[in-house]
């Protein structure tokens, strides 16, 4: 059974930093793209940052220059370094892994930014 285990969420003050981690366990034939998504209360889930298997990254305009996504293929992990966080970054953050035949989601980790 495939599981994506996230960690690193919590409470941080505006302007601070946080690092999210997500590690894949179980058997996936091949992990292609990986990414981070977030959902704030009353809003739809949105893409924050994605990274392909060869390291090509894509960011939402709202986080460009502040967040950095990375991955470690050997550890089957994806990471999100969040710097200069803002109150509007408050949300539940989910990681996602695209296998050859299916996509998998983590359970979510809460990030709360206080002013």
Mean pLDDT of 68-81: 96
Count of CB atoms within 10 A of residue 23's CB? 18
Mean pLDDT of 44-67: 97
User: What is the per-residue pLDDT for 29?
Assistant: 81
pLDDT in tens, 3-34: 999 999 999 999 999 999 999 999 888 899 99
Contact (Cβ atoms closer than 8 angstroms) between residue 112 and residue 10: yes
């Amino acid at each position: 059974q495939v599981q994506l285990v996230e960690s690193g969420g919590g409470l941080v003050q505006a302007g601070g930093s946080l690092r999210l981690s997500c590690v894949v366990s179980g058997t996936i034939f091949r992990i292609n793209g990986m990414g981070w998504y977030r959902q704030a209360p009353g809003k739809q889930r949105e893409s924050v940052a994605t990274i392909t298997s060869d390291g090509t990254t894509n960011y939402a305009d709202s986080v460009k220059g502040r967040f950095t996504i990375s991955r470690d293929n050997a550890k089957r992990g994806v990471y999100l370094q969040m710097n200069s966080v803002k109150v509007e970054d408050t949300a539940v953050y989910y990681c996602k892994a695209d296998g050859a035949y299916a996509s998998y989601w983590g359970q979510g980790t809460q990030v709360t930014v206080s002013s």
